[in-house]
Amino acid sequence: MSQTQQPQDDSRRDFLKVAGAAALVGSTAPAIYAAGNNTIQLALVGAGGRGTGAAANALASKVGPTRLVAMADVFEDRMANSHKALTNRFRGAVDVPEDRQFIGFEAYREAMDCLSPGDVVILTTPAAFRWVQFTYAIEKGLNVFMEKPVSIDGPSSRRMLDLGKQSVKKNLKVGVGLMCRHCKARQELFRRIQDGQIGDVLELRAYRMAGPTGSAATGKAPKGSSDLLYQIRRFHAFLWLSGGAVSDFLIHNIDECSWMKNAFPVQAEASGGRHYRGDDVDQNFDTYSIEFTYADGTKLLVNGRTIPGCNQRFASFAHGSKGSAVISSRGHAPSRAKIYKGWKMTKENIAWSFPGREPNPYQVEWDDLLTAIRRDEPYNEVQRGTEASLVTAMGRMAAHTGQIITRDQMLNCQHEFAPTVDRLTLDGPSPLKANPDGTYPIPMPGLIKDREYGSLT
Task: State the angle between helix axes of 154-169 and 130-140 in degrees (0 to 180), rounded to the nearest 10.
Answer: 10
Task: Judge whether residue 63 has pLDDT over 80.
Answer: yes
- Helix, strand, coil in percent for the chain, rounding step 5: 35, 20, 45
pLDDT computed for residue 293 by the predictor: 98
Domains of the chain with bracketed CATH: 15-180+362-380 (3.40.50.720), 181-358+391-412 (3.30.360.10)
Q: Label residue 15 by pLDDT band (50, 70, 90).
A: very low
289, 431 Cβ separation under 8 angstroms? no
Could you give the C-alpha distances from 44 to 94, 112, 174, 272, 292, in angstroms and in order? 11, 9, 15, 36, 35
Element at 121 (helix H, strand E): strand 120-123
Mean pLDDT of 125-146: 98
Mean pLDDT of the chain: 92
Mean pLDDT of 226-235: 96
pLDDT tens digits, one per residue of 86-132:
999 999 999 999 999 999 999 999 999 999 999 999 999 999 999 99
pLDDT computed for residue 432 by the predictor: 96
Task: Report strand pairing: 338-341 vs 323-328.
Answer: antiparallel
Q: Label residue 37 by pLDDT band (50, 70, 90).
A: confident
Residues 8, 215, 284, 122: is their CA dihedral positive or negative? negative
Q: Side by side, which strands form the sheet with 201-210?
A: 350-353, 338-341, 323-328, 313-320, 201-210, 299-306, 287-293, 267-273, 405-406
Instruction: Report phi then psi at 421, rounded to 5.
Output: -60, -30
pLDDT tens digits, one per residue of 242-292:
999 999 999 999 999 999 999 999 999 999 999 988 899 999 999 999 999
pLDDT tens digits, one per residue of 441-452:
999 999 999 999
Mean pLDDT of 190-211: 97
pLDDT computed for residue 169 by the predictor: 98
Question: With 0-12 CB in 10 A as exposed, 13-18 as middle and 19+ as buried, what is 348?
Answer: exposed
Q: Label residue 149 by pLDDT band (50, 70, 90).
A: very high
Q: Side by side, which strands form the sheet with 143-146?
A: 101-103, 66-73, 40-45, 120-123, 143-146, 174-176
